[in-house]
A and B are shown apart, each in its own frame.
Chain A
């Protein structure tokens, strides 16, 4: 699975959009981009995933560049409850196993 690079930390004011970048320059054509987050002391929580097209769900939007070498997770209106570590993961959806390789992620601090 391709490696990812994320900034170690970011701050965001409550109510503003939080844009979390991820570089995955060695991504292969059949690898998906997944985002999970981990709120303090809890198990990780799935947010969103995508292959080539931009994706949106009730939690966030995922913007993937045309060359697929980077992506951005957007939380449109960050709240204090969005304070967490956000993990960008790139992996093949093999259909047989769901192994996820977590890096150290981006610690997002949402402030008043």
Chain B
């Protein structure tokens, strides 16, 4: 298994440009999510999905769109990049938690470093 893969690893954008960050997982996980991490801060949740066709907003969704057409892929779109979106972006996936023996852990990708000029 490749686990969670993200492309590209690095990207430089100009203000106003659009781009899509790709995320894929081969573990048949229902749950996928996107986080951003700014210097000296923890990760903040942008959007998440509990299955194909279902997405929802996290803590900092403004400026980002997502879709989930397949179980494997969860792309993150920046429609009009802004310098405030300069960050490291992490994609994660997991099984949905189950009771009574929760074994859910999240698997993170290697990250995409984005610089918006």
Using CB atoms and an 8 Å cutoff, list the residues of chain A in contact with chain B.
32, 36, 41-46, 49, 87, 93-105
Known: A45-B108, A97-B50. A104 touches B42 (CB 8 A): yes
Complex contact A95–B97 (CB within 8 A) = yes
Which residues of chain A are within 8 angstroms of B4 by Cβ–Cβ distance? 43
Complex contact A103–B42 (CB within 8 A) = yes
CA A28 – CA B43 in complex, angstroms? 23
CA A41 – CA B109 in complex, angstroms? 11
Complex contact B106–A101 (CB within 8 A) = no
CA A60 – CA B103 in complex, angstroms? 16
CA A101 – CA B33 in complex, angstroms? 12
CA A4 – CA B94 in complex, angstroms? 23
CA A45 – CA B104 in complex, angstroms? 13
Complex contact A93–B43 (CB within 8 A) = no
Smallest CB–CB gap between A48 and chain B, Å? 9
- Out of A43, A87, A97, A105, which one reaches B109, CB within 8 Å? A43
Which residues of chain B are within 8 angstroms of A41 by Cβ–Cβ distance? 88, 111
Q: Which of chain A's residues has its CB closest to B42's CB?
A: A102
Which residues of chain A are within 8 angstroms of B40 by Cβ–Cβ distance? 104
Known: A44-B108, A46-B107, A98-B106. A93 touches B97 (CB 8 A): yes
